[in-house]
Structure formats: C-alpha cells, structure tokens
Structure 1
Amino acid sequence: MRVLRCYNSDIYRYKFTLFNELYFLVAGGTVWIDSGVPSSDSVSTRTARPEVTKVKSIKNGVQVEQTAYNGYGEDNQLSSPDKLSGSSTDGDDVGRFLYLEGVEYVMWCTYDVHFYASFALLALFPKIELSIQREFAKAVLCEDGRKVKFLAEGNWGIRKPRGAIPHDLGMHDPWHEMNAYNIHDTSKWKDLNPKFVLQVYRDFAATGDFSFATEVWPSVCAAMEYMDQFDHDNDCLIENDGFPDQTYDTWTVHGISAYCGGLWLAALQAAAAMAMHVGDYAFAEKYKGKLIKAKTVYEEKLWNGSYFNYDSGSSSNSKSIQADQLAGQWYMASSGLPDLFDGVKIKSALQKIYDFNVMKVRGGRMGAVNGMHPNGKVDDTCMQSREIWTGVTYGVAATMLHAGMEEQAFTTAEGIFTAGWSEDGYGYSFQTPEGWTTDGHFRSLIYMRPLSIWGMQWALSMPKTILDAPQVNIMDRIQVNPYTPQETGVRKIVKKAKCCFNNSIFSCSC
C-alpha cells in the first residue's frame, strides 16, 4: 500500500478510515455465488452481438409485445443463471456478486451509488468489479415491459426499457427482476447511463482487458444512443427535466445541471476514447464532435467565474455550489483521460467547494455539505441539499488529490473521520451512514457509498494503465471518410483492438 504526500497529522486518520470503511463489503450484506459458467467447448456468447427477438404475452388481459435478449424469457427474466455469466473461461470466472446499497435501502448493486463505491472493488477485487459491469452491460440490452407505478409522481411505466441502465439488480429476485427502486422512473434519470460508460472505460483502462471491452461495447453504444432523447434542443448536451432525475433523488434539477451535464461530457469523452481502442472510428468521430459542441454550451450556461452553477434554471438554488459538481472530471482523472476543463477552472471550483461547502460547516469538521448558497448559507431546498454525504465527500477529496490540492483533500476527508469515526464524533464506527446534517442527524446507516474513499487511494497511487488514452488534440485530427465502407461487427472490433494494442492506436493501419 503506497500513500503519497500525506501530511503527518493526516496519515493515521486516512489509513484508519481507508481500511475500516471496507467493513461494508462483508457486513453490509453480500452474496457471492458460483456463476455456472458453461464449459469451454460450449457455444460462447461473450463476443457475439446480442440476439434480440420480439415476444408477445398477455398481461392483465392486454397483449404486450416485449423484447427478449439472449437468456431472457417473455418477462425478460433470466431463464438460467448461466446465461448471464461473467465470463466464458474458468480462469476469468469469479462467480456472481451482489452487495446491498445499505441495510435500510435493500437493493442489490445500486448502480448510481456503485459509481462511487466501485473504486474499492476495482482496487482490491478487479475481476469481481468486471463481473458486475458485465451484469449491467447485459441488462442494458434487455427490456422488461411489465408495468410499475412510480410513487413520487403517481404515474405508471415499464419496469426496464431497452437502452437504460437499471437502477439496481433487484431485491426479492436479483438478476431476474431488476429495478426494485420505484420512487421515480429511473429510465429517465440522467446520470445512470453516463455512469455506466465512465465505469466501463475506467475499468477497461485499469485492467487492459480487451475481451471485456469488446464484450460490453454494444452496450456502451446503446447506452449513449439512449441519451439522445434528453437533448431537447439539439446542442449535444442533455437537459434535466424538472424533477429529481439523478442520484440526488429529492433534489430537483432544471435544464442543464453541473452534475448530470458534467457526467455527460465525461461520458462523451470516454465513449469516444473507448471507440478508438476497439476500432470503431466512426463512433469516435461522432462523439468527439458532440463533446466539443456540448462542452462549449455547458461552460457558457453554467460557469460563473469561480464555479459551475447547480443548474441553468431560475429557481432559488440554481446558483448553489454543489459539492459534487466535478464528478465527471473525477472520472476523467481516474481513467487517465484529458481534463474536461482547463486547470484554472477545475482548481477554482474545488477551492470554492472547500471554502464554502467544507470550511463553512463547523470549521471543516463534518465533511462537505451537498449544497451551499454563494452567500455562505447551507442550501436547505430539500433534505439532500442540506445533507453531508460521506461518500460524496470522499469523492470530492479524491478529485482534489488529482488536481494537486492535497492539503484541501485531506482536510475535507478528515471531516468524515472526525464526525463519523473519532471519539469526538457521533459514534457511527462500522456503520457509516449515507449522510448527516450539520446538527448530527443521520440517514441510512451502513451504506455503500463511503467505499469511495478508495477513490482517494486510486488518486494517490494510480496504477500505470497499459492503455494510452487518446488525447483531445489528437482526436480532433481524426476524420472518417463518409464514402469509405466501415466494417462492423465484434470480430472486426476484436481484430482492430488487438492490432492497435500491439502497434499503438494512432499508428495502426488495419
């Protein structure tokens, strides 16, 4: 374990918290079973494009047409666990893994939260992390047309549309019945699909596993294309729809948002970079163009000179300072990809978060509050805006480390140690909650997100990836001749990926 440039007063607290937060992987609710991977002489579906068929069934007297994908039956449930195996070889098979969002929110592998917690699995159990990503990659391409009532709005919708990342892998019948969450329609959330693309690229870059990349590439394409419906004005930037359509599921967003918009910019860059690695140059060109246009709009609408506004709307909290506004940038730095913004803006936004969201709350001894008005008052628009989220605080600290702001990073993270783990704190040891308020009221004990402290360790001792990330200035010179026939199919992608890996992606002539 290598820890770089920790200040002496922080080393003990950091190491103490880093290792102790791992309690969640065994005490928070974990299932690890055999996957039942087919023998090597059986037909492998790892590199085959998904086989999609239409099936009809009768639901409550109404004929329903649904999509069946590979091992999914008429309800799009798995007909056998073998059909969603993590790998086709015994050497790669680590079984099937589930862990709860928390002991109060009983859903398996909640994906918007796994976005934060996954650094622990990637650092310590990378094959388990890849197996989870494979589960979600398969799920992207399936549809479950059964009707569900969403509690917040009182409307009805289908459980899982094709192209949408499921919120979770289920509750009562995991893998077979996804999306146990039914407060909002998560198929309209703006952060889930970008988070899938970002995690897939990060994991690919960290492991160099090209078989994983080619297996999940069709799902990456589907996840990106699904998001087109949320670009309402054709400026290549997605908009939020005036309800809490994100992991902050009580915090309403209007128009372009710093959080979801930033994740989308990062996903555009990650998808374009991954496309180049797997040889899909037409896709890379398309999404590189989207990134350039979307980034200009994002900065014009949200940058106010010192940080990115919460959203582009006109509500009372549209100019709030959101602690998590650079989540997309965090993943770019963690994946070895170019920064989304120039370094001056990144450091300015992080310093603003440190000065306001961290230091104006009990002198920095509680972590980073989610929302803060520019006048220095906590944003009390809703429950979540005024909460301090433990996992988000660690993520902000990790982003600071990537930006070279070590002192601010460790001070920020120390607030979680002080409030949650120290003898002077609230006594949450080995049951770290999702968050707490400035007066010490907690919500959701024993929660997944605080595993994001391993994002700090990732920043401190980031492994040397075998991949050379395509740089934006180089990507700008890549053009695809529209009159040149483009070979498609996973076999071609695999061929190009192997060639590019051996010969450098920018000198490859395959």
Structure 2
Amino acid sequence: MIYQRPRLEIPECTWKRPIGLGWDKPYTVRYASNLDDGPWHGMPLGGFGAGCIGRSPRGDFNLWHLNGGEHVFRSLPACQFSVFEQPEDSPAQAYALCTEPPEDGSLSRWQWYPKEGTGDKGLGTGTYHALYPRSWFVYENVFQAELTCEQFSPIWAGNYQETSYPTAVFRWTAYNPTDKPITISIMLTWQNVVGWFTNAIKSPEVRVRDDGSPVYEYQPRWGDSTGNLNQWISDFHRVGCLLDRVRLHDEIGEGEGQLAIATVTNPSLEVFHHSRWDPASDGGDIWDIFACNGTLSDRQDETPAAPGEQIASAIAVRFTLKPGRTRYVPFILCWDFPVMEFGTGDSITKYYRRYTDFFGRNGTNAWSIIRTALKQDDTWRDSIREWQQPILEQQDLPSWFKMALFNELYLLCDGGTLWTAASELDPIGQFGVLECLDYRWYESLDVRLYGSFALAMLWPKLDKAVLEAFARAIPTGDDTPRIIGYNQAQAIRKAANATPHDLGAPNEHPWEKTNYTSYQDCNLWKDLPCDFVLQVYRDFVMTGSTDIQFLGECWDSIVKTLAYVKEFDLDGDGIPENSGAPDQTFDDWRLQGLSAYCGGLWLAALESAIAIGQILAENYPDGEYNTTNYQIWLDQSQSLYQQKLWNGKYYRLDSESGSDIVMADQLCGQFYARWLGLPDIVPVECIQSTLKTVYESCFLKFNNGLLGAANGVKPDGTPFNPNATHPLEVWTGINFGLAAFMVQMGMKDEAFQMTEAVVRQVYDNGLQFRTPEAITAAGTFRASHYLRAMAIWAIYGVLTKF
C-alpha cells in the first residue's frame, strides 16, 4: 500500500548542510585577537533585543546571548531534543539529537545521533535547513518514521510587538511511511541556567587590544545555579517545566528571571515529566527509562539547587502513529530576563527590554509567554510565511540570493541587540545592534550607512529610533581625554556638534555615552556627518516622504554637524579635506586632500540637506530652515570634485597622494543620491565608466573574480602595497552596497556575479550566521557577526524600487 507523505513546507532556497557534517578547512581569523568560535553556528532563536539562543547544524544549543551585548559560545548538552521510536514487532531505539557527545564525559548513558554517512546503508542521517527566522532539522535513514523539527521565533517585517518576544517554537512533524504502527516519544530536556548571564566582574578593566580597539572582560556566572529550582506546571492543555530561582530581594536584577519549556496534551498524547535531574551525571536517571519505553518517571521536585549543584528538567510526549498518518507536536522554549544593566560599579543604569511592554517587568512571566506562544504559534508561522513568500516566489531572483537575503537578517537578533521598553521620549523604545563582537559598540554610523538598509526597509520605526539617538548625541560633548590606539595621540572623547561614530558600549551607558571606540579620533572623521544626513533623508523617503516630524527632530543636528565638518575645509574651496590620517570608515587607509569617497558623500549630503530644509520650510513657514549656504557649498564643490579627481576612467583615490588605486566604493555618495531621487553628483558617463573599471580591476582581476571585489587595487588588479590591510580585503557589506549601485546603473549581471562570489565565500566556508566584515585571499576573515553585511537588502531595494 502506498501512503501519501505530508508535504514538507521547506523552501527550495534554504541554506542547507548534512546534520553533523564538519568542514575540512573552514575559514579562520586573520588576527589572533579576533573572535573565532569555529564553524558550528546555526540560526539564532529569540526576539530582537530579548536575547537569543543558537542551535547548530549538529543539533546542540551552543550560542547564548541572554545578556545584552555579551557573547557566550558554549555547548550545553543537557539542553537537547531526544527521540524514542519503537515500530510494532521491532526493537526500540532512542537518540539524543546531537551528533557530538559531551566533551566532559557527562550524560555518558545517552545515545547520540549518528553523523553524516553513518545512517542506514551509509546514507546521510538528515539535513539542516535555515531561512531566517525559520530553520529545520530533517532526520533521515535512522528512524523508520519521517521526522522533521521546524524552529522559529515570531519575527516578521513591520511587526513591533511579537518580534521582541523571548521565545522559540519547535514544531515537530512525524509521519509513518510503513505498514505497521510506530510508537514515538519526543523529549525536551533543559538545564536551569537562571542567574548565569550577568557579568561576575562588576567593574571590568578596559584595555586596548593589539589592534588598538578597547575591550573589557566579560565573565558570565556560568554554572552558578545555587538556589535554582524547577516546577512542573499543568495548565489545562498546557504542560511544562518552569525554571526559576530563589529570590532574596524584591527588585529584579540583570540575569534574574525565569525560563520555561512546554508542550500540549490531549487524549491522543501521553505526556511525562521529570522536573529535577542532574545534568552533570551520566544521565541514567532520565535516559534509562526514556530509551526503554519513551516515558519519564513523572517526578516532581522543587528543591532548590545546593552550592555547586546543577539541575535540569525534562518533558516527553509519546504517541502512536498508524500507517500513513501524520502528527504535529509543538514544543515551546521561552525566557523572561527583563532587565538589562549597563555601566559599572556605582554607575549602573537599568533598562527594561521591549517585550516587557506586553508581559510585565517582574521576571515572573515565563508561563504567560508560554500561554501566548501555544495559542499563537500557528498564526506566527503564517505571518512569517506571508512576509517571505512574495520574495521566495520571484523567479528572477536566484536561490542563493534569496537564501542570503533572509539569513543575513540573523544579526538583528544575534548582534548583541538591545531594544528597550517604550517611553514618552522613545515611543517604540531605543534600539541598537553592535558593529560586531570584536568591535563591541552600538550602531557604528559609518557601518550602518550600508548595513541599516535591512532595518530601514523592514522595521523603519526602529531605524528612525537609532537616528534620533544620533540626533540627540550630536550637540553633546565629552572632554574626557584618552589615547588613540592607531597612533598613541591624545584626544577628547566627543567634540560638541561632531557626529559620534557609535552609540556606546554595553559596559557603559549606550545612547548616552557615545564614541566608545578609541582606535581612531572619530571627531576628525569626514564621512560621519554626511552619513547621518543621508540616512535621515533616506528613512524619510523610504517611509513615504510624509514623516515631517522626524525631519524636524533631526534638523538642528544636521545644521550643527554640517557646520562642524565644514571647518575641515581649510582652503575654503567648499569640500572638507582628508587629513592624511585614516579619517573615515576605511580606518587603516590614509587619504590626503579631497577624496573621492568622502567628497562624494559630502556632495550627496548637501543635496539631502537642501531637500530636507525645503520640505521643512514648506511645512513650517515660521521656522528657520535656510539652505543657502548648502547650495553655495554644493555649487563650489561639484565642479571641483570633477576637475580634481576624474582621470578619464574613474575617480582618483584623492587629490594629493598621487595614488592610481581604483577604490571600489569611491562613488558611494552617488549611489545614495540616486537612491534618494536627488540629482546625480557626477555625470552619468563617468558613473558608468567608474563602475566598469571597478568591476574589472577590483573584482575580475583580483583573485580571478572568485572572492568578491577588493577595496582598492591598481588598475591591473595588483596591490599598491602587498602588506596593506583594508585595500586588499573583500568587505562583505561594501560588496553588497557596490552591487546595489551596479544594479542601479544597469549592471545587474555583473552585480549578481560579484554578489554570488561573496555569498559563496560566507556560506561555503563555515561563516554562516557569523558573517564577517572582511575576507582575504588566504582564506581568513576579520570581525565576525558584522553589521555591514545586511547591505544585501540594498540590492533587493534597488531591484524592487523600494
């Protein structure tokens, strides 16, 4: 008899990998000081700013971003799914669904899932798929039943509520393709980690790393489970374990709260539990009974953990599948750690997370989140599909592009993300994503010039919240002296009216204490003020050109910061000069005099400021929105830019170095001008010639077009200086931004050829879900989990005329 299989709704364009299959030569870090956790990264689970947990393609939960801005990468074996199966008249089998047993010898009684190539008849044992915010484990050639686990969190474009929720849904599908009944039991075990995710060092020392970046030590309270307790909950059809901790005070602090795991019960299901067991043991008290018949002992024990003791909980759902039948079983994981603390010692500041606007702030709402998830999980899943499906159905987009387009959004969850509760000043809350985990400060403005396209297109209210934070920061000053890592000079932290580089770091007070990085003196950067103006006008245009209030809130800061950067126009020719130091986003690359990169941004920013001023003047006739100076500067600058930098094929790097380097991103300002519907800053024929030269020199002639476009090489593709850093790196986000520019100018085929090369570098070499800033021809990378790579959404924006 032939039975109809359930239709697995896994899109064709997922990133996929055989379960447990390692990498022969994954890319490694360029500098030993950079973070390199290895390639076992999977899609993160959890809402924006709620903290997240990652599960790898081998099945273990190993990434723990439950403390805002802090990173822990460590497998916790007791946090695991396991499956028992017994076909009628056949022996039973049971596996914990990770292909690697614990390295410390714990849980030695457990049977671990076989790796790729060890399944029935030597076939693969399944496939991991990811298309953020959904991922799937498809188990094959081990069990007789066909099993799939779909994972997701309630994240979709334009949603500002559920997208913040600290929860993950695991939707299990079991199908019986045989002619005999099969009994199946699915078990979820979870270790009580309440209290672990806060810095045990309350006043960590800040030091300067060997690359000049400030860093501080983060030491989580890993394993500190004293006072933790587990409670079995039976709530109508909802059942599960609540993981809590004895509280010694009323006020909740960072890392305090609850977790919960849960499922549903009905007359056709049997649910078993074991609320307290020792995950540091051999695991026999759980495994022996589960592997025997798929049950648990139904033990309830709420005894708090003693010093040095670890505790975990378990729930199992058992059912029998008749031939040809399918069953769906949901499991929910959630956590409620409502407080984020910033600063050190006596100057600690607390914020509540965004999801507390909907579930309360006392850290006792994990079960309320469970109830919501079990009620809404199907609706959430449908909402995600409705958002993704129109893009997935576009036949003119290659599968690899659609895969990367969605998967690069992982950073909005994984990037040390902050999202605070709403306030009168910030009605959507304050938001922030780290530049990366190596450069641990929020919303670097030069980087988000590219990387924020995703946020601006999909969650524009959050992007505006970030820019409003920059607008508030621009007038402020901080005269605290510090040493600049690049050259050991002394400089103040933040000059009044200078646009800050970033919105601060987790060990201080984000949004209030800005310019955390001290590698360069960012008060001297020529691109940051322009970046701010361009992003403000971009968000206005992209949200229908109706949010006049947003422009008004930013106008005073636009005026102040453009006046500030104009002071660097020492010869009065209308364009601020670069100083010969790395005073822009390529902060190891010296530019001298008028530069193509900063000069182009300046021209586009002036056009934007003129447009903004005119809009405000039309809507607020009594206000002061004089743009006369901006028009004068633009008229001066535009002809000078062309005269001094155009060499007949492309724009020179700068006006004074004499370099013939072809800079890949030389016309970023022009890309922005056309995106914003502003007049071109240079002639069209010069744009086309420049892009053709960049494509040939920086991409095709650099490593035969296999890596992507290098930041800057000679016209023949060779390096000006073989020992240079930034010029010879392939920056993922710059490539995506450049590709968007090429599509904008009718070079779609070339753009997609270059973009595919970069995407392959990331997703074929163990860099998935930790996309770096830079890749080299030597198979190394720098700065993983990087913000700029979300610029891939700019390509989609140009294609769809967003």
Structure-1 residue corresponding to 2:707: 366
Q: Note the 1:316-331 alignment, pairs <5 A.
A: 318-331=659-672
**What count of residue pairs does the alignment treat as equivalent?**
404
Deviation per CA, 1:61-107, whole angstroms, max 9, x where unpaired?
A: xxxxxxxxxxxxxxxxxxxxxxxx33xxxxxx211111111111111
Structure-2 residue corresponding to 1:134: 468
| SS state at 1:159 partner | strand
Retained in 1: the 8 A contact 2:484–2:490? Answer: yes
Label 1:33 to 1:250 Cα distance change in 2 as closer, same or farther (>3 A). Answer: same
Q: Note the 1:463-482 alignment, pairs <5 A.
A: 463=802
Is 2:696 the counterpart of 1:355?
yes
Deviation per CA, 1:446-473, whole angstroms, max 9, x where unpaired?
A: 111100111111111123xxxxxxxxxx
Within 2, Cα distance between the matches of 1:287 and 1:176?
30
Within 2, Cα distance between the matches of 1:409 and 1:119?
17
Structure-1 residue corresponding to 2:399: 12
Task: Kindly state the Cα deviation for residue 427 of structure 1 after the two structures are TM-superposed.
Answer: 2.0
Label 1:3 to 1:323 Cα distance change in 2 as closer, same or farther (>3 A). Answer: farther
Task: Kindly state the Cα deviation for residue 112 of structure 1 after the two structures are TM-superposed.
Answer: 1.0
Task: Kindly state the Cα deviation for residue 35 of structure 1 after the two structures are TM-superposed.
Answer: 3.8
Q: Note the 1:4-43 alignment, pairs <5 A.
A: 11-37=398-424
Amino acid at match of 2:419: W
Is 2:548 the counterpart of 1:210?
yes
Within 2, Cα distance between the matches of 1:153 and 1:439?
28
Structure-1 residue corresponding to 2:768: 429
Task: Kindly state the Cα deviation for residue 441 of structure 1 after the two structures are TM-superposed.
Answer: 1.4
Within 1, Cα distance between the matches of 2:632 and 2:600?
16
| SS state at 2:607 partner | helix
Retained in 2: the 8 A contact 1:150–1:182? Answer: yes
Measured on the aligned residues, the alpha-carbon RMSD in Å equals 1.9
Deviation per CA, 1:21-76, whole angstroms, max 9, x where unpaired?
A: 11111112101111422xxxxxxxxxxxxxxxxxxxxxxxxxxxxxxxxxxxxxxx
Is 2:447 the counterpart of 1:113?
yes
Q: Note the 1:290-301 alignment, pairs <5 A.
A: 290-301=633-644
Is 2:690 the counterpart of 1:342?
no
Retained in 2: the 8 A contact 1:4–1:461? Answer: no
Is 2:557 the counterpart of 1:219?
yes
Label 1:323 to 1:281 Cα distance change in 2 as closer, same or farther (>3 A). Answer: farther
Within 1, Cα distance between the matches of 2:770 and 2:392?
28
Retained in 1: the 8 A contact 2:664–2:709? Answer: yes
Within 2, Cα distance between the matches of 1:150 and 1:314?
24
Structure-2 residue corresponding to 1:147: 481
Is 2:536 the counterpart of 1:196?
no
Is 2:781 the counterpart of 1:442?
yes
Retained in 2: the 8 A contact 1:198–1:266? Answer: yes
Within 2, Cα distance between the matches of 1:232 and 1:265?
17
RCO comparison, higher one (Cα < 8 Å, 6+): 1
Is 2:729 the counterpart of 1:387?
yes
Within 2, Cα distance between the matches of 1:375 and 1:13?
30
| SS state at 1:230 partner | coil
Label 1:281 to 1:137 Cα distance change in 2 as closer, same or farther (>3 A). Answer: closer
Is 2:580 the counterpart of 1:242?
yes
User: Structure 1 residue aligned with 2:431, among 91, 97, 101?
Assistant: 97
User: Structure 1 residue aligned with 2:520, among 184, 187, 195?
Assistant: 184
Structure-2 residue corresponding to 1:164: 498
Amino acid at match of 2:737: G
Retained in 1: the 8 A contact 2:702–2:718? Answer: no
Within 2, Cα distance between the matches of 1:206 and 1:435?
29
Amino acid at match of 1:111: L
Retained in 2: the 8 A contact 1:398–1:456? Answer: yes
Amino acid at match of 2:660: K
Task: Kindly state the Cα deviation for residue 281 of structure 1 after the two structures are TM-superposed.
Answer: 8.3
Structure-1 residue corresponding to 2:758: 416
Retained in 2: the 8 A contact 1:7–1:407? Answer: no
Structure with the largest fraction of helix? 1
| SS state at 2:488 partner | coil
Amino acid at match of 2:539: D
Amino acid at match of 1:252: R
Task: Kindly state the Cα deviation for residue 289 of structure 1 after the two structures are TM-superposed.
Answer: 2.0
| SS state at 1:283 partner | coil
Structure with the largest fraction of strand? 2
Structure-2 residue corresponding to 1:276: 614
Deviation per CA, 1:353-388, whole angstroms, max 9, x where unpaired?
A: 111111112332211100011233134362001100
Deviation per CA, 1:134-192, whole angstroms, max 9, x where unpaired?
A: 00001011111222221222222221111111111111221232111001110000110
| SS state at 2:479 partner | strand
Within 1, Cα distance between the matches of 2:643 and 2:469?
38
Amino acid at match of 1:190: K
Within 2, Cα distance between the matches of 1:161 and 1:153?
19
Give TM-score scaled by structure 2 length.
0.49
Task: Kindly state the Cα deviation for residue 433 of structure 1 after the two structures are TM-superposed.
Answer: 0.6
Structure-2 residue corresponding to 1:70: none
Amino acid at match of 2:592: H
Structure 1 portions without partners, runs of 5+: 38-84, 87-92, 464-510
Structure-1 residue corresponding to 2:795: 456
Structure-1 residue corresponding to 2:206: none
| SS state at 1:235 partner | coil
Within 1, Cα distance between the matches of 2:530 and 2:657?
25
Is 2:596 the counterpart of 1:258?
yes
Label 1:178 to 1:300 Cα distance change in 2 as closer, same or farther (>3 A). Answer: same
Bigger Cα Rg: 2
Task: Kindly state the Cα deviation for residue 389 of structure 1 after the two structures are TM-superposed.
Answer: 0.3
Deviation per CA, 1:406-460, whole angstroms, max 9, x where unpaired?
A: 11111111111121113xxx22111111011122211111111100111111111
